[in-house]
Structure 1
Amino acid sequence: MRFRPDFRWRGVGLGTAGRAAGWTFGMIVITQLTILAQNNVASLAGRDDPSIAVLNVSWLLFMLPHSILALSVATPFFTRMSAAASAGDLGSFRADLSSSLRTILLLVVGGGAAVGAAAIPLAAFFSLDPNTVVGISSVLLAYLIGLVPFSAMFVLQRAFFALADTRTPFFIQLVQGSVAVGALGVVAFVIAPARPDLVGVAVAACTSVASVVQAIVLGVVLRRRLRGIDGRRVLVRLALFLAAAIVAILVGVGMLALLGGFSSGFAVADRFSAFVSIVLVGGTVLVVYALALIAARVPEARAGLSPLRRILGRRPR
């Protein structure tokens, strides 16, 4: 089936590069304003509370699976989707979108599971202070709740960009920013006065909630525009990925307990032991996750190894 992309959908012209750049710049502005609001709310935890620093470190850790896995996979798919949109090939466009979502979600769910299970030694690698370890690991887990929608949102945005539409993602970004600011308002006026120690976790949770809303709105709008995005298959696969991740996390947490992660033992004794624990716990989670997917005969499991091998510098067979 072939179609003609509506590059002037709702007044967006393909040749108006300046206007497209303006919508993109607007998205950047909204993102920066949201970050400013987050920092201002985080500062309500108190003058001596390291909430902003904890948020920054936790965000960097949160971005690891997305940056390493999602970005490397999304780039070639974006090129293919752009070519399909230019050729008016709706079938290929939807197939590439579905394939990119399933592949990226397979990888980021596994990566997120590994990071989540190793959250305590990861925090200890940056600071050996017990309070800071608890703070970083708690905030990191709150961020990880939004990892799947965050990566899905990244792919869905690129689908709009492949259709030469930056106007629609701008307005959806505006919705996301509004949700984030509204949630941060609740943190500022309800949580901060009563429990300032929970401000950092609450701010991270606001980011996750906003990512969920943005991913859902992007998916609904894109589905209507393309008359389907293979959503049922993507959601079924995601359920399988999450089930495998739960099994892997349970095994990884058991490994962490053996390493003394919950009793001030080896896992948090010093930076070297923290690093060793990260490798052991994270590696265990990844192995169990892969084995669970293979045992369940998930079709994307074999395909997902190909980009991972390229990342690791190995040639797929």
Structure 2
Amino acid sequence: MSKHRQTRRERRRDAAARTATSKSSPLAAEAPDAASEVNETSEAVAEAVRRTSTGLLSASVLMAAGTIVSRLSGFVRSALIFAAIGSSLNADIFTGANTIPNALYILVAGGIFNVVLVPQLVRAMKDDSDGGEAYAQRIVTLGLLVLAIATVVLVIATPLLVRLVFDHRLFDPGNEDALSSAYALMRYCLPQVFFYGAFVLVGQILNSRGRFGPMMWAPITNNVISCAVLVTYIAVYGSSNGSDGFTSGQELLLGVGSTVGIAVQALVLIPYLRAAGFHYRPRFDFRGVGLGHTLRLGAWTLAFILVNQVTFVVITRIGTSAGLLALGDGTTDPAGTTVYASAFLITQVPHGVITVSLVTATMPLISRLAAEGNLTAMRAEIQGNIRLVLSLLAPIAVAVFALSEPLGTVVASWGAMEGRTEAVSATIAAFAPAIIFVSLHYMSLRGFYALEDTRTPFFLQLVLATVNIAVAVVFATQVDPEAISTVLALAYGSAYLVGSLLAITVLSFRIGPVVDWSAAGFLGRLALACLVAGAAIIGSFTFLAEPLGLDGDDKISALLSLVLFGGLGALAFLLAAWMLRIREVTSVIRTVLRR
């Protein structure tokens, strides 16, 4: 039996003894205990908010800055994709082949690496005499072996994967060239599975040692390389919006270039391991060190990821149908996988910059509180995180919805897509509500993972996936190819609305009410501030755009609209937040200015 499990059992026995003592006379003790619990919780929530708004925010600034730069470079990459290969079938083939390795990596090992290893590494650092170094060495060795074997198997299985991921119409007569490109690009991109896994393995070891910045900054190297590949493509082959596949040279440049970017992203983390005091050497003595416990925890996580990737495959197949349907009915501007992925990238920036940065910094603390059985403090940390994240994400979601038209122009109106961005803008607007719901769901699930409960998130994800697939399948068949990406975005947001509400409800049964009366008041004030911001953006855009000459479709006009009307909305929100005493907002401003 592992030392970690013995410690947890002892804590549970002690907690049970304390509970039995306090409840030996329920009528006499229950009311005072309840009052004490309320006071303790209120003080803990207040302290968590103060701590989150100062120390943890400061710890997250470097991560957020790296994520911002990474996402901005990702915008450039997205714009270059539109400029180089447009948004029709060819673009969807490249996007599908280049995104499936990440999905497969997650299916093979990503869930275990991301959400199970950090709590286990923290416990090993705390309890093991060597600070957890041997445990981490075994984890890296085992992980790299699994990734290498899985990558080889996946490359061999390329024909099956293409048939699984792409719409069945790709295999119809007349589409042979496009199908051949799908096979080639998939083979060139699949080795990314290994490098994605290596990147996350190294990054999570750094995170467990408090080195959060490198993992957030490293993706910039991938985006830079990807941008260089796309610029080279435009210089050599020009721009197009085709549906007849790529040449062998184009396939080699796009596929191998994309894989090189992921490999470099992983390699740049290695020097930071030594700086963090970790020295890797291969270790194959996997038995008797608690890895079985980690893998048992990961079994439910793997089931969770499997459900998620089934959803990914269904959505990708529906997305690739847009370009293929357009070939049949003569549609010139289909909106499928590429438009969906680009709009998704835009609307996920706030989640990556704010939520992931904050949760990455607080997950070790929440895991320690859960391991100690201090559910009151754990709940307070989660409540503080949710309030802080919502105070930042809600106004951003409003702004993204209100400014979706100029956003679509800035991102997509390039090269072959010049002046043809209506579908991109509509998809961005449809994704806007998901900015809030995805982060709520993400933070709630981290509460379960800190409790070493990977079973409950599986069933929660099963519900979410069912909603997503059902809405997407039903409504995608009712719209033209130009609107498929918009319908898929609405399905995504609907699923995460249901998922976040369900996750918060179930978590509240485990650790106490995550949403209490104080949170309800906060949400009411935040909603009012967001309404003020939304009215400011829409009103100023409606009445000032034409007099100022900012109602055109050109990129300069769109960019100025984003800056001017978005800035007016931000000022309106900050003023409303100050008047309504939303202290999370003012704390963030003070922290950022101080940094």
TM-score (normalizing by structure 2): 0.47
| Residue equivalent to 1:270 | 554
Corresponding position: 1:17 with 2:301: no
* CA deviation after TM superposition for structure 1 residue 248, in Å: 0.6
| Residue equivalent to 1:279 | 563
Q: What are the within-5 Å matches in structure 2 for residues 231-242 of structure 1? A: 231-242=516-527
Alpha-carbon distance between aligned partners in 1 of 2:567 and 2:344, rounded to the nearest angstrom: 21
Deviations along 1:210-229, one digit per CA (max 9) or x if unpaired, are: 00111111111111111322
* CA deviation after TM superposition for structure 1 residue 4, in Å: 5.2
| Residue equivalent to 1:90 | 375
* CA deviation after TM superposition for structure 1 residue 156, in Å: 0.4
- % identical equivalent positions: 26
In structure 2, give the amino acid aligned to 1:315: R
Of 429, 443, 447 in structure 2, the residue corresponding to residue 159 of structure 1 is 447
Alpha-carbon distance between aligned partners in 2 of 1:306 and 1:132, rounded to the nearest angstrom: 41
Deviations along 1:149-205, one digit per CA (max 9) or x if unpaired, are: 21110110111111111221122111111111111221244x23xx55433222111
Counterparts in 2 of 1:164 and 1:255: CA distance versus 1, 3 Å? same
In structure 1, give the amino acid aligned to 2:429: L
| Residue equivalent to 1:9 | none
Corresponding position: 1:63 with 2:342: no
Q: What are the within-5 Å matches in structure 2 for residues 181-220 of structure 1? A: 181-189=469-477, 191-192=478-479, 195-220=480-505
Specify the SS of the correspondent of 1:164.
coil
Of 387, 390, 393 in structure 2, the residue corresponding to residue 105 of structure 1 is 390
Q: What are the within-5 Å matches in structure 2 for residues 104-183 of structure 1? A: 104-128=389-413, 132-183=420-471
Alpha-carbon distance between aligned partners in 2 of 1:137 and 1:236, rounded to the nearest angstrom: 33
* Partners of 1:66 and 1:151 within 8 A in 2: yes
Deviations along 1:90-109, one digit per CA (max 9) or x if unpaired, are: 21111111101100011111
* Partners of 1:117 and 1:285 within 8 A in 2: no
* CA deviation after TM superposition for structure 1 residue 42, in Å: 3.0
| Residue equivalent to 2:43 | none
Corresponding position: 1:315 with 2:315: no
Alpha-carbon distance between aligned partners in 1 of 2:343 and 2:524, rounded to the nearest angstrom: 26
Deviations along 1:68-87, one digit per CA (max 9) or x if unpaired, are: 11122222332221121122
Question: After the TM superposition, which of the residue ranges 165-174 and 131-140 deviates more from structure 2?
Answer: 131-140
Return 5+ residue gaps in structure 1 as ranges.
7-11
Structure scoring higher RCO (CA < 8 A, sep ≥ 6) equals 1
Decide which structure has the larger Cα Rg and report it.
2
> What is the number of residues matched between the two proteins?
299
Alpha-carbon distance between aligned partners in 2 of 1:112 and 1:95, rounded to the nearest angstrom: 25
CA RMSD of aligned residues (A): 2.7
In structure 1, give the amino acid aligned to 2:428: L
Of 303, 307, 314 in structure 1, the residue corresponding to residue 587 of structure 2 is 303
Alpha-carbon distance between aligned partners in 2 of 1:179 and 1:118, rounded to the nearest angstrom: 28
Return 5+ residue gaps in structure 2 as ranges.
1-9, 14-115, 121-289
Specify the SS of the correspondent of 1:88.
coil
| Residue equivalent to 2:309 | 32
Deviations along 1:266-286, one digit per CA (max 9) or x if unpaired, are: 354422332222222222222
Alpha-carbon distance between aligned partners in 2 of 1:264 and 1:38, rounded to the nearest angstrom: 41
* Partners of 2:399 and 2:534 within 8 A in 1: yes
